[in-house]
Amino acid sequence: MLLELALKAAAIVALVVLALTAVVYLTQRGALYHPWPSAPDPPPPGVEAMELVTDDGLRIGAWFVAAAAGIGAEPGPAVLICNGNAGYRAHRLPLAHALAERGYHALLFDYRGYAGNPGSPTEEGLRTDARAAARALADRPEVDPEGVAFFGESLGASVCGGLASEMPPAALVLRSPFPSVVAMGRHHYPYLPVVDALVWDRYPLDRQLAEEVRVPLLVVVGEGDEIVPADISRRLFASAVEPKRFVEVAAAHHNDESLLDGDELLVKVTAFLDEWVRDRRDVP
């Protein structure tokens, strides 16, 4: 009798896990992507609106912020900013303005399906959008195409990693990066069988940094990040090749302003970019 009850209980648990796995499998993109639902207002003065055309023919919105010290000068360094999951480009304007004040042009854009853009987000789709943004930034007359760095936050770090594997930037800054969607799924859903075969958009940043990306790397994390814990980002950092640098912002959570345009973040990012982008451009 006890054995029969135990077998029935095990069967019920197995069915529940199977049902949950099926639901997560069928709704995984809805769980992974959280698009900003509406189109942004016109950009503020001093910010130029752009329209990017992707390889598959989509037209997506972008904003260009010129470096304060670079207007009318020779082509200068620039940073492509790849957003995290929530929000849209207006929320990253403080970072773009801070970089511009430090002499770096900046380009902000929204992915397909975000902020009024056409299309639906996928791993390949987001990389296609970032590719269009990187090309548009490098083609601007104010920008030195050899001096373009990528800055990606959270999901945007994975987008940047994929893009860097095919279009190496001058330097790569990843804020709150995670190794892969599978790794994060196993962290947040330890009771489900999260395996590559069940995941549509994998974002294998750990493999890309270990095998494909060969550029200077800065990883910035928040000590109190509950979405992408610092230890997970640290393990990812360990898989990357030199030169690389790791910065942990004390007491910062995933969505804190200190990880958007905080003083410590800006000091570390600017020092890194100056070393690997601006100073390298000055060497004959």
Q: What is the residue whose two structure tokens read 């860097």?
A: 164
Backbone angles phi, psi at 274, to 5 degrees: -60, -40
Task: Going residue by residue through the chain, which has 284 residues, state the pLDDT in tens, using 9 for 90 and above.
Answer: 666 665 566 566 555 555 555 555 555 677 789 999 989 999 999 999 999 999 999 999 999 999 996 555 689 999 999 999 988 999 999 999 999 999 999 999 999 999 999 999 999 999 999 999 999 999 999 999 999 999 999 999 999 999 999 999 999 999 999 999 999 888 887 877 777 777 889 999 999 999 999 999 999 999 999 999 999 999 999 999 999 999 999 999 999 999 999 999 999 999 999 999 987 755 44
Position 135: which residue type?
R
Distance, CA of 187 to CA of 206 (rounded, Å): 15
Distance, CA of 41 to CA of 39 (rounded, Å): 7
pLDDT of residue 282: 54
pLDDT of residue 252: 95
CATH for 33-281 is 3.40.50.1820
Distance, CA of 174 to CA of 243 (rounded, Å): 14
Q: CA triplet 219, 254, 60: central angle to 5 degrees?
A: 80
pLDDT of residue 12: 64
The secondary structure element, H or E, covering residue 191 is none
Among 108, 91, 92, 102, residue whose Cα is nearest residue 67: 102
pLDDT of residue 131: 98
The secondary structure element, H or E, covering residue 99 is helix 93-101
Q: What is the residue whose two structure tokens read 């997970």?
A: 232
Distance, CA of 154 to CA of 188 (rounded, Å): 15
Provide the β-strand partners of residue 59.
Answer: 53
Kindly provide the b/e burial profile for residues 23-36, where b requires at least 16 CB atoms within 10 angstroms of the residue's own CB: ebeeebeeebbebb
Task: Give the 3-state secondary structure percentages of the chain, helix then strand then coil, rounded to 5.
Answer: 40, 20, 40
User: Two tokens at 233?
Assistant: 């980002």
Other beta carbons within 10 Å of 19: 10
pLDDT of residue 185: 83
What does pTM read for this prediction? 0.90
